[in-house]
Structure 1
Amino acid sequence: MVVSKFVELGDTAFVILRKQKLIALHWFHHAATLMVCWIGYEHYETAGRAIFVNSFVHSFMYSYYALKALGVKIPKNVSQALTTLQILQLAAAVFGAVYILYLLAVQGRPCRMHFETFCLGGFLAGMFLVLFIRFYKQSYLSRDENKKK
């Protein structure tokens, strides 16, 4: 899983190759995700089902970034759909973290994941969810409101 996070830095290369501004959310997301995976690696954590969802989302994102880097004009609704997909992925991660916390705290069931990794991963998923929703609002909704005025 840690190796995949280094590979995921490839979309940063696409952003730089397109000579676009690298927003704080982009590099912070990748740096923090790499950090939590590195901590998880220390405790021999597995990504479980999350890696399949993440790989699915990133397969679309990398295709999008590659096409943009090649100069292909892609409709705005495609980038909006990708951001929506990321938000759904993060919402599922937050739901999963809350559910695991319920199993731990209320039902007293054991968790194979190291508690430090679980807490940090859950916290980051929640923080990323808020940041991606904010990004979505700024990128897609605020412009629509300005056009109406």
Structure 2
Amino acid sequence: MKIDEVPQDDIPTFRGHGTKAIYALDARGRYTKTTTSGWEVEELVLRDVLADFAEKAEAAKARILAGRTSPIEYFLNRRLMDLAALAQAMGIGKWRVKRHLKPRVFNKLNDKLLQRYASLFRIDIATLKQFKEILARDPDSQF
């Protein structure tokens, strides 16, 4: 795409956050950095992705209350992550994160590891440890 063809659709996602840097061809045919205020097509896809993560988080709430998963599943979806991204951010194997999704394993995790998860999710450790009880009191809570 040439610099003068870069979309400038002023999408709502970027409002208040400036612009996004992308690469496009300049007049001499070389790739150069330029900015965009967004592209409508990109916005539609982004909204679908965000809605998908929100649905997954809501489904995780029900599984947490039923005792089938740990709060980690809810928060990884709220932070727009998948297992691989969470494992990488935690510096542990993906197989370990999968184990931590099991309530019986989660309940045995030490505070040091739980604090690492809580910090990554930008919540306090008490919220992570007591999330099931918090949901039982207020199923519509948002974090």
- Name whichever structure is richer in strand by fraction: 2
TM, length-normalised to structure 1: 0.28
Q: Which has the higher helix share?
A: 1
Relative contact order, CA 8 A, sep 6+: which one is greater?
1
